[in-house]
Amino acid sequence: MTQLDSIFSHVDQNSADYVRRLGEAVAIKSVSGDAHHRPEVVKMANYIISWMDKLGVSHTSHDPGFQELDGSQVKLPPIILGTYGTDPAKKTVLVYGHYDVQPALKSDGWTSDPFTLVEDEQGRLFGRGSTDDKAPILSWLWVIEAHQKLGVDLPVNIKMCFEGMEESGSEGLDELIVQEAKGYFKGTDYVCISDNYWLGKTRPCLTYGLRGIAYYKLTIAGPAKDLHSGVFGGTVHEPMTDLFAIMSKLVAPDGKILVPGIYDQVRPLTDKERGTYNGIDFALPDYEGAVGGKVVIQDNEHEVLMSRWRYPSLSLHGIEGAFYSAGAKTVIPAKVTGKFSIRLVPDMDPAEVHRLVSTFIASEHAKLNSKTVCTVEPLHGARAWLADPEGPSYAAASKAVQRVFGVKPDLTREGGSIPVTLTFQENLGVSVLLLPMGAADDGAHSINEKIDKKNYIEGIKLLATYLHEVASA
Ligand SMILES: C[C@H](N)C(=O)N[C@@H](Cc1c[nH]cn1)C(=O)O
Ligand SMILES: [Zn+2]
Ligand SMILES: [Zn+2]
């Protein structure tokens, strides 16, 4: 039996423990976007730290300071830097992940409590953060534990960087990486991140690109307080009316962004790039399955992939301050804030995007001849990331996928954003790889987020095998 074979059987034998521990982590409501949950984000950091202590991972917690959230100053959660092994004869792999999650309420439409991990008869593990990103970050720890339990030497040094603000702009992390590039991060040979998803449900992938993001708050303020619509309706400029008018001008129903100039910076499609879409294992019906309906705009696979990976998109997320409860409240909200974001692609620059967006919104507001006050505020921004999927780390990951799953991985890009990826690439000057364990239908950020138990357990084996392959590369 090879070392990896014994690791694999150890992982299989301990799968119930891994699921139970994922349940402990999911139960911690580490929602970074809501000030009320901040103690829970810190609790999740402590959960990870307690495992690092048990496993002999040395660690430091970096305090990024404070952020302004919901009008008050809120302490940011720690960035945990862990070190396991410092052998100069071994390669050093830096793994990154995030321990915060998106918000979730049962009333959003979850079929079970979002913060209680529930396994169904198909082996799907439902719970907020199950796939994004709690199972992946814990899996790195289980890989270390498996080696220790079996007395197998881990063939690489591992550095870990786990943050609690990824879902809210990764505040403070870029600064730390720049500052520590020649300190804590020195000696990193490769960066590996497990925080995205396969293209379908069965074939694993290696991911070499991400879209960036520019997230906005658009506020329209009118009267000093909410008003009775019967008493005042028809006599005042209404913030909701103006907000709807402007938000409806940002994007067309066919997904085209209507902000003038927004497509000017998009890198043109070459024949070489077009060729990379051939042979990718991706089918429209599966995608519709993951979407949960026949509402896909494009009618062929390549266009869907290009729209997710290499073209920008603008999504309207929500409105703060608007009436949304049951009943028929006849109110004119005094101030409303629309939230929207633009996914950025190479070569879009967030500062130029902001200039275009704010100029356009100001001109659209002016056209309304309204006495309301309109302000646009960028919340967070990150450029897109694109890497060369060549070199020893990608080769090691490809071998690892073939060893664990018996198939060649797809080479993919991802429509979502992980702001730190580009920061690592630019400041550490090393290859960055995304090695996901979740499937396309996991529903990250959505209701009923899940990770399949099979993906979790095989994912632990995948990460372990990747480290072994890196060592022998
Ligand atoms: C891909 C990754 N798992 C993820 O979900 N990233 C988020 C990052 C983000 C940015 N603003 C808020 N969250 C995403 O792509 O939405
Ligand atoms: Zn996420
Ligand atoms: Zn994530």
**Domain extent listing, the chain:** 3-210+385-471, 212-267+310-382
Instruction: Report pLDDT for 279.
Output: 85
Q: What is the DSSP letter of 243?
A: H
List residues forming the annotated binding site for substrate.
Answer: 195, 228, 330, 343, 417, 445
Question: Rounded CA gap, 187 and 434, in Å?
Answer: 20
Instruction: Give yes or no for residue 245 having a pLDDT over 80.
Output: yes
Residue 79 vs residues 46, 54, 82, 164: alpha-carbon distances, Å: 11, 19, 10, 7
Compute the C-alpha angle 309/261/296, nearest 5°. 35
Average pLDDT over residues 400-423: 97
Average pLDDT over residues 424-439: 98
Average pLDDT over residues 389-408: 97
Per-residue burial over 91-111, b = 16 or more CB atoms within 10 Å of its CB, e = otherwise: bbbbbbbbbbbbebeeeeebe
Residues whose CB is less than 8 angstroms from the CB of residue 267 and which lie 6 or more positions away in sequence, other chains included? 310, 345, 346, 347
Mean pLDDT, all residues of the chain:
97
Instruction: Give yes or no for residue 30 having a pLDDT over 90.
Output: yes
pLDDT band at 72 (very low <50, low <70, confident <90, very high): confident
Instruction: Report pLDDT for 441.
Output: 95
Is domain 3-210+385-471 annotated with CATH 3.40.630.10?
A: yes
What percent of the chain has pLDDT above 90? 98
Instruction: Report pLDDT for 71.
Output: 80
Considering the entire predicted model, what is its pTM?
0.95
Q: What is the pLDDT of residues 343-397, one digit of tens each?
A: 999 999 999 999 999 999 999 999 999 999 999 999 999 999 999 999 999 999 9
Decide: 340 in ligand 1 pocket, CB within 6 A.
Answer: no
Average pLDDT over residues 218-245: 98
Average pLDDT over residues 36-53: 97
Residues whose CB is less than 8 angstroms from the CB of residue 315 and which lie 6 or more positions away in sequence, other chains included? 251, 340, 341, 343
What is the position in ligand 1's atom list of the atom closest to the CA of 415? 15
**Closest residue to atom 13 of ligand 1, CA basis:** 167
What percent of the chain has pLDDT above 70? 100
Q: What is the pLDDT of residues 285-316, one digit of tens each?
A: 999 999 999 999 999 999 999 999 999 999 99
What pairing do the DSSP bridges indicate for beta strands 431-434 and 190-193? parallel
- Residues belonging to the active site: 100, 166
pLDDT band at 69 (very low <50, low <70, confident <90, very high): confident
Instruction: Report pLDDT for 138.
Output: 98
Distance 395 CA to ligand 1 centre (A): 26
426's tokens: 């630019």
Instruction: Give yes or no for residue 70 having a pLDDT over 80.
Output: no
Question: Rounded CA gap, 311 and 340, in Å?
Answer: 17
Distance 227 CA to ligand 1 centre (A): 37
List residues forming the annotated binding site.
Answer: 98, 132, 167, 195, 228, 330, 343, 417, 445
Closest CA to 457 of 124, 26, 144, 19: 19
Decide: 434 in ligand 1 pocket, CB within 6 A.
Answer: no
Decide: 444 in ligand 1 pocket, CB within 6 A.
Answer: yes
**What φ, ψ does residue 410 adopt, rounded to 5°?**
-70, 155
Q: What is the pLDDT of residues 155-182, one digit of tens each?
A: 999 999 999 999 999 999 999 999 999 9
Instruction: Report pLDDT for 448.
Output: 98
* Ligand 1 mutation target, pool 100, 170, 417, 446, most atoms within 8 A of CB: 417
What is the position in ligand 1's atom list of the atom closest to the CA of 195? 3
CATH of the domain spanning 212-267+310-382, picked from 3.90.550.10, 2.30.29.30, 3.30.565.10, 3.30.70.360: 3.30.70.360
